[in-house]
Structure 1
Amino acid sequence: MRIALVSYHTCPLARLGGRFSGGLNVYVRDSARELARRGFLVDIFTAAHRGGGFGVARLSPGVRLVHVPVGPDLSRAALYAGYRTFAGRICRFARAEGIRYDLIHAHYWLSGLVGLELKRAWNVPLVGMFHTLALVKYQARVGEEEPPERVEAERRVAAGADALVAATEQEKGFLVRLYGASPYKIFVIPCGVDLNLFRPRDPRAARRRLGLPVGKPVILYVGRLDPLKGLDILLRAVARLDDPAGVRLVVVGGDRGSASERERLESLVRDLGLDGVVRFIGPVAHRQLPWYFSAATVTVVPSYHESFGLVALESLACGTPVIAARVGGLTRTVVDGLNGYLVSWHCPEAFTERLELLLGNEGLRRRLAAEARASVQAFTWPAVAARLADLYSSLRAGPETARTGTLSG
């Protein structure tokens, strides 16, 4: 079976931690690789880098990355205005290659719009996965700004796709309640982690490699520099510790697109007197992240919302406990008191209390760390690909096959 996988707004090879790069990029790349190992042929279509032309690269056996030209403006407004043109260029590529695709899998709302166009052109099933939903972001944090057309676009994709993939039961509920999606075409398939890549390294060796102090606790944040991620809460929490100067907070993520947010956060660091405590690393290659997780005493995920929370999964796979906000998919991976802690309130005091508890009790840290990797053994990319393969096969047999219980959704 040949799959057209659409990741319109972000390339799966983009360095993580940028404004529009994160768990979605990992999902696209690693699920495609595993699908190919199961015999699928996968072409990933993404916007070419600024001003670039068509380009085809082999990512792994059975997986190609196709950069489609869109022009120099890669803003979401420009991509929305040009999604039909993007879909048309994919169709021309398929004709030129003599390829017929059996199914489309679109990631994010912009890709979903492209997917609807391709579905009409090719008369093949469309699977959609949103990763984040505008109406959920609005509920999670007042003041979130999204393109005005996004909500209506998400409703169109939810209605027009033959199947929707949700990472959690909670996300499935949001799609039904907020978008009117049929529950019978929503399939819950959790995200995965590469357990070969994300495995514990020696913490002292990891710290020496990264230039971090060996004798001080290291608190780690990994993610975009975005108000929705709640990094300012973590900064204020660290400032309230009994001895802030006795720890190091390492912030991984952020790119040129988030320069203004970084400036705001760096100003907050100065105001809180955390100069010398907080270190902004910037974006790093995905393969380097295990070293950061292994160097950390604890990873903190203070987000206002996470559809799944891949960072928590990757940290736990490296044997590092997680303190996370009790939101979204984080409640699926972080088990309170087993492999970390869930914090119910988005206030610094609550995070400070859990940090003090964990940092001040070596026995507790060891117990949580010992459980961390074991707790995520079921979340693997081969398992994700197996579920996706079942869904694809059922849709190829006919959309009603998938909806009548052949799959557990």
Structure 2
Amino acid sequence: DVYTRLTDPNLPEVTQFDEHARVIHIPAGDIGPMDKNKVLNHMPEFVCRVRQYAREHGITYDFVHSHYWLSAWAGGLLASRWNAPHIVTFHTLARLKNRADIGPTETEERAEIEARVLRTADAIIASSEHERAAMVELYGANGSSIHVIPPGIDLALFRPVDREEARARLGLNGDRVILAAGRIDPIKGFDTLLDATALLGKRDKTRLVLIGGSKGDADLGALERRAADLGIGDRVTFVGAVPQRELPAYYSAADVCVVPSRYESFGLVAAEALACGTPVIASKVGGLPSIVRDHENGLLVPWRRPEAFAESIELVLDNQSLHRRLTREARRSVAHLSWERTARDTIALYRSVGLASSPAVVCGCHA
């Protein structure tokens, strides 16, 4: 069972998405999107309603696996009430985000919650060795309770598509395509990529395609204005959000995928692009170097350096021998990141803390 806070009054209480898996929407506070720090005020109500739902339906759980810091707060309390082990995956950490210095800082209250959970959880899953080391260095976590299990990717979905066919379908015929994708957030570093694109000058038929965000998004609007101010508005296509099933066509259509993030615990976009056979240029931060191997399947660049990104993009676009070598290595370099392996390693961890393959609860009220 996956418990999450109800954000849409039109959603059913329970959504069954597989024979043995379902999402249960729990009302807590006003129904609708809410700032993550305000959601924290409603976590006690969330916990009470989850316990009430389980009690009324006669459900017992053998463990709790929570994701992100808000859910970790709720999951820890639920696990203690149910006398069940607590496993946590944070995905992102306040002190790491604050160290990236990308604007409004995460609250110390959030950092203290993360520190407490790191001390009390039965097991922690880190997405990379870098994240594991950061938990120890910045939070004083016990390294022996932290297990590195990279998030998996669907290798059946993310696979190479014929490039010319993909470009024809997406209307990108004749262009050299630089692709970027992700949540529109300052931590993703898309401003750096726009600056780098401007430094490329008036290269013939070279286009930046940026996937993510939606109309009315303030951060997306800021990027659109920046592109116009830099004089590259006609060479940048803001696609908006794209269904996951369509992403392989975009990755395959690209000559290179750029991940200019200021921090990534793992780097899912980089892994998906490589699985589609597309070389990646990425910031040398966080977990990205565990995926992008410099001059093997892509290039690593110092973060926040538009000049370095521009130079690397030119190198990959102009050096056909290098491009062929990076492309050849791309997919096989992420063959170990399958969903099946991630599931197998996660189940092994569940069993290592004394669990059978019995009902589980996952808390997902994240932000």
Give the structure-2-normalised TM-score.
0.93
| Equivalent residue number for residue 278 of structure 1 | 236
Please state if 1:189 is matched with 2:153.
no
**After alignment, is 93-102 or 50-59 more displaced?**
50-59
Q: CA deviation at 1:324?
A: 0.2
| Equivalent residue number for residue 210 of structure 2 | 251
| Equivalent residue number for residue 60 of structure 2 | 100
Distance verdict in 2 for CA 1:53–1:321, change over 3 Å: closer
| Equivalent residue number for residue 322 of structure 1 | 280
Q: CA deviation at 1:143?
A: 3.0
Alpha carbons 2:65, 2:75 under 8 Å: kept:
yes
Q: CA deviation at 1:310?
A: 0.5
Distance in 1 (CA, whole Å) between partners of 2:265 and 2:189 is: 15
Please state if 1:267 is matched with 2:225.
yes
| Equivalent residue number for residue 16 of structure 1 | none
Query: Could you tell me which amino acid in structure 1 is paired with residue 199 of structure 2?
Result: R
Please state if 1:68 is matched with 2:26.
yes
Q: CA deviation at 1:183?
A: 1.1
Alpha carbons 1:58, 1:65 under 8 Å: kept:
yes
Please state if 1:89 is matched with 2:63.
no
Query: Could you tell me which amino acid in structure 2 is paired with residue 322 of structure 1?
Result: V
SS in 1 for 2:264: coil
Query: Could you tell me which amino acid in structure 1 is paired with residue 214 of structure 2?
Result: D
Distance in 2 (CA, whole Å) between partners of 1:259 and 1:323 is: 26
* Aligned with 2:38 (options 69, 78, 96): 78
| Equivalent residue number for residue 226 of structure 1 | 185
Please state if 1:392 is matched with 2:350.
yes
Query: Could you tell me which amino acid in structure 2 is paired with residue 328 of structure 1?
Result: G
Q: CA deviation at 1:52?
A: 5.3
Query: Could you tell me which amino acid in structure 2 is paired with residue 84 of structure 1?
Result: P
Distance in 1 (CA, whole Å) between partners of 2:328 and 2:84 is: 47
Alpha carbons 2:6, 2:31 under 8 Å: kept:
no
Please state if 1:236 is matched with 2:200.
no
| Equivalent residue number for residue 136 of structure 1 | 96
**After alignment, is 138-147 or 172-181 more displaced?**
138-147
* Aligned with 1:358 (options 292, 316, 335): 316
Pairs within 5 Å for 1:113-124: 113-124=73-84
Query: Could you tell me which amino acid in structure 2 is paired with residue 173 of structure 1?
Result: A
Q: Deviations over 1:227-250 (max 9, x none)?
A: 111101101111111434521111
Distance in 2 (CA, whole Å) between partners of 1:188 and 1:281 is: 34
SS in 2 for 1:389: helix
Q: Deviations over 1:194-242 (max 9, x none)?
A: 1100000011111122222x21110101011111111011011111114
| Equivalent residue number for residue 169 of structure 1 | 129
Alpha carbons 1:48, 1:54 under 8 Å: kept:
no
Distance in 1 (CA, whole Å) between partners of 2:162 and 2:63 is: 44
Distance verdict in 2 for CA 1:143–1:75, change over 3 Å: closer
Distance in 1 (CA, whole Å) between partners of 2:214 and 2:306 is: 25
Alpha carbons 1:301, 1:324 under 8 Å: kept:
yes
Please state if 1:56 is matched with 2:17.
no
Distance in 1 (CA, whole Å) between partners of 2:256 and 2:11 is: 43
Alpha carbons 2:262, 2:303 under 8 Å: kept:
no
SS in 1 for 2:175: coil
Distance in 2 (CA, whole Å) between partners of 1:104 and 1:237 is: 44
Query: Could you tell me which amino acid in structure 1 is paired with residue 53 of structure 2?
Result: F
Distance in 2 (CA, whole Å) between partners of 1:144 and 1:247 is: 34
Distance verdict in 2 for CA 1:324–1:53, change over 3 Å: closer
Q: CA deviation at 1:142?
A: 5.0
Alpha carbons 1:68, 1:86 under 8 Å: kept:
yes
Q: CA deviation at 1:322?
A: 0.2
Q: CA deviation at 1:381?
A: 1.0
Distance in 2 (CA, whole Å) between partners of 1:275 and 1:167 is: 36
Query: Could you tell me which amino acid in structure 2 is paired with residue 279 of structure 1?
Result: T
Q: CA deviation at 1:397?
A: 5.5
Alpha carbons 2:174, 2:205 under 8 Å: kept:
no
What root-mean-square deviation, in Å, do the aligned CA atoms of Structure 1 and Structure 2 show? 1.6
Give the structure-1-normalised TM-score.
0.83
**After alignment, is 46-55 or 367-376 more displaced?**
46-55
Q: CA deviation at 1:344?
A: 2.0
Pairs within 5 Å for 1:343-382: 343-382=301-340
Q: Which residues of structure 1 form unaligned runs of 5+?
A: 1-42, 399-409
Query: Could you tell me which amino acid in structure 1 is paired with residue 192 of structure 2?
Result: I
Pairs within 5 Å for 1:288-327: 288-327=246-285
Alpha carbons 1:84, 1:117 under 8 Å: kept:
no
Number of aligned residue pairs: give it: 354
Q: Deviations over 1:69-88 (max 9, x none)?
A: 22225221231001111111
**After alignment, is 360-369 or 50-59 more displaced?**
50-59
Q: CA deviation at 1:53?
A: 6.6
**After alignment, is 171-180 or 330-339 more displaced?**
171-180
SS in 2 for 1:250: strand
Distance in 2 (CA, whole Å) between partners of 1:174 and 1:285 is: 33
Alpha carbons 1:102, 1:396 under 8 Å: kept:
no
Query: Could you tell me which amino acid in structure 1 is paired with residue 210 of structure 2?
Result: V
